[in-house]
Amino acid sequence: MTAAARAGAEEEVQARLPDVGSLAAALDDVDYLADPGLATALFLAVRLPQPLLLEGEPGVGKTEAAKALARVLDTPLYRLQCFEGIDAAEALYEWNHPRQLLGIRLAEARGAPLDEDDLFGPEYLLRRPLLQAIEHPGPRPAVLLLDEIDRADAEFEAFTFEVLAEAAVTVPELGTIRAAHPPVVVLTSNRTRDLHDALTRRCLYHWIDYPSPDRVAEIVRRRVPGSAEPLAVDAASAVTRLRSLDMVKPPGIAEVIDWVSALSILGVTRLDPPAVEATWGSVLKNRDDQELARTRGAAWLAAEG
């Protein structure tokens, strides 16, 4: 429905993102390195437009992808972190009840007449991310990130999709609010439960793989500006080596960034065994994993790749 109801993206967006290459370059400019697959996925999500479901290991940059896309489009990012029991009041809107009560008391004290409409006006409405994204005035659509949609209940998932398909919200007291610029929707999932068919059917799908060591090194150089060039390469290949072990929590890109930041602060420029010994904790955050890696030794990890 989403795709059928909206024939293509708006002209301004089309002009900004004429093809996949220009999106990849624009993402690069905001320091997000997207491989051709992810760039194609984001491009289609914006231009078709159709919601995009991103999956991948924790820490491969699913959330970052949505943030970078918002920066490229130069629009706000509205993020809804899903959790069990999330409902419309937390996702869509809620009336500001304390303020309403205060309004009643104030009107009483002043002896001013008070209409019910006064209490249910826009100024008493608390806007939650879904409504904010729909109300976004433009000129370009906002980016709406539904993070970890699998944590919400199935009913909430269905409700969200209805709202997005219509790109309109009805607040009984105010009437229907229709989106002038339907948001670009990015969903992420950790696959703790099977998502509903209706959702997967409407979404584009992309699995983000853990990137190659070269690319990790490049990402680290962008994210930790002060770090020494060889250090990023060393750390990236060391983490690739760690990932070959049977880890409880294999270190991701976030851990490489943490690690290189820590090493830079310590003034390290090349990864050597003493530096590894001092910083186990910034790359391996589980005791079993640390023990496993220690049996291989710091020298193994620091070995020139």
Partner 1 sequence: MVQPPIAPGPLAVGLTTALHRAGLPTTPERAAGLARALQLVPPRDRAALYWTCRIALLTDRAQLPVFDAVFSAVFDGMLDPADSRGDPTAPPSIGSEPRTRPVPPDARPSSPGTAEGTPGSGGGDDGADGVEREVLLAAASTEERLRSTSFADLTAEELGTVRDLVRRLVLSTPERRSRRTRPSRRAGDRLDLRRTVRAAQRTGGDPARLVHAHRRTQPRRLVLLCDVSGSMEAYTRVYLTLLQGAVAGARAEAFVFSTRLTRLTRQLSLRDPDQALARAGATASDWAGGTRLAHGVGRLVADHGRRGLARGAVVVVLSDGWAQDDPDDVADAMRRLRRLAHRIVWVNPRRAAPGYAPLVGGMAAALPYCDAFVSGHSLAALEQVVAAVRESAPSRGSPRAREG
* Binding window for partner 1 (CB under 8 A); candidates: 49-57, 66-74, 164-172, 173-181: 49-57
Candidates 74, 162, 173, 194; binder of partner 1 (CB under 8 A) is 194
- Count of residues in contact with partner 1, rule CB under 8 A: 46
| Chain mean position to CA 264 | 27
205-to-37, 42, 48 alpha-carbon distances in Å:
11, 10, 13
- What is residue 81's three-state secondary structure? strand
- State yes or no: cis peptide before 139, omega within 30 of 0: yes
Cβ count within 10 A of residue 15: 9
User: Residues 62, 128, 140, 206: which binds partner 1 (CB under 8 A)?
Assistant: 206
Q: How far is the CB of 156 from partner 1 (least distance, A)?
A: 10
Least distance in Å: CB of 269 to partner 1? 35
CA dihedral 243, 246, 247, 253 (to 10 degrees): 10
Give me the sign of the Cα torsion angle 32, 51, 125, 86. Answer: negative
Between 113 and 226, whose beta carbon lies closer to partner 1? 113
Judged by CB under 8 A, does residue 102 bind partner 1? no
Is residue 113 within the footprint of partner 1 (CB under 8 A)? no
Query: How many angstroms separate the CA atoms of 60 and 44, rounded?
Result: 20
294, 238, 283: which is closest to 257 by C-alpha?
283
Residue type, 116: E
Report residue 10 CA to chain centroid gap.
23
- At CA 155, angle to CA 150 and CA 156, rounded to 5? 65
- Under the binding rule (CB under 8 A), the answer on residue 278 touching partner 1 is no
Rounded to a whole number of angstroms, the minimum distance from the CB of residue 302 to partner 1 is 26
User: 204 in helix, strand or coil?
Assistant: strand
Residues in 139-158 that interact with partner 1 by CB under 8 A: 150-151
Residues numbered 218 to 257 that lie near partner 1 (CB under 8 A) are 246, 248-249
In the complex, least distance from residue 291 CB atom to partner 1, rounded to whole angstroms: 11
- The residue range among 34-42, 179-187, 219-227, 255-263 that interacts with partner 1, by the rule CB under 8 A, is 34-42
Does position 176 bind partner 1 by CB under 8 A?
Answer: no
Task: Identify the residue among 89, 180, 265, 299 touching partner 1 (CB under 8 A).
Answer: 89
Kindly list the residues in this chain that would bind partner 1 in the complex (CB under 8 A). 3, 19-20, 36-37, 40-41, 43-44, 47-48, 50, 53, 55, 58, 83-87, 89, 94-95, 97-98, 100-101, 104, 150-151, 190-194, 200-201, 203-207, 246, 248-249, 288
